[in-house]
């Protein structure tokens, strides 16, 4: 398995099918997708993208030391639990020296907690799912 820097459009299939199934394109494309500072990483297996994550420049006034936002983290269902997500996350965090924040579905918060993030702020509901906001420690 190989981690590669890819284009935003290479991430669309897994973003839509895993994170926003049945939703319109504006829900699985991001304003900074084509910003030159943005990084999109993918892991491929036999030429097929099986995991993705993106890092976008986006400030959050609650965490001024964390100018980067992680979004669109997804691994194909049948390949989860094998370290693919962790590989992507570690590779992405190594791209920047500053802090990173994200919103995380509560059911996967432990994935981020195990990989250098902590929760800040209150829990909230988005797309009918409980979420937390997290930042690198």
Ligand X SMILES: CC(C)(COP(=O)(O)OP(=O)(O)OC[C@H]1O[C@@H](n2cnc3c(N)ncnc32)[C@H](O)[C@@H]1OP(=O)(O)O)[C@@H](O)C(=O)NCCC(=O)NCCS
In the complex, the residues that contact ligand X under the rule CB under 6 A are 18-19, 73-75, 80-86, 104-105, 107-108, 110-111, 114
Shortest-Cβ-distance residue relative to ligand X = 85
Beta carbon of residue 35, minimum distance to ligand X (angstroms, whole number): 21
For the CB of residue 74, give the shortest distance to ligand X in the complex, in Å: 4
CB of 115 to ligand X, least distance (A): 7
Q: What sign has the CA pseudo-torsion 60, 62, 67, 70?
A: negative
Look up residue 70 and give its two tokens.
Answer: 């992680």
CB closer to ligand X, 38 vs 133:
133
Query: Cα(98)–Cα(53) distance, rounded to whole angstroms?
Result: 17
């Amino acid at each position: 398995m190989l981690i590669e820097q890819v284009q935003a459009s290479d991430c669309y299939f897994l973003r839509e099918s895993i994170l926003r199934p049945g939703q319109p394109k504006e829900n699985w494309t991001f304003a900074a997708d084509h910003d030159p500072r943005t990084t999109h990483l993918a892991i491929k297996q036999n030429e097929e993208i099986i995991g993705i994550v993106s890092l976008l420049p986006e400030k959050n006034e609650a965490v001024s030391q964390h100018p980067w936002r992680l979004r669109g983290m997804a691994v194909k269902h049948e390949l989860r639990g094998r370290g693919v997500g962790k590989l992507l996350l570690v590779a992405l965090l190594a791209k920047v020296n500053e802090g990173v924040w994200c919103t995380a579905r509560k059911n996967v918060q432990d994935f981020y907690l195990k990989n250098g993030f902590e929760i800040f702020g209150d829990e909230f509901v988005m797309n009918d799912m409980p979420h937390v906001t997290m930042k690198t420690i």
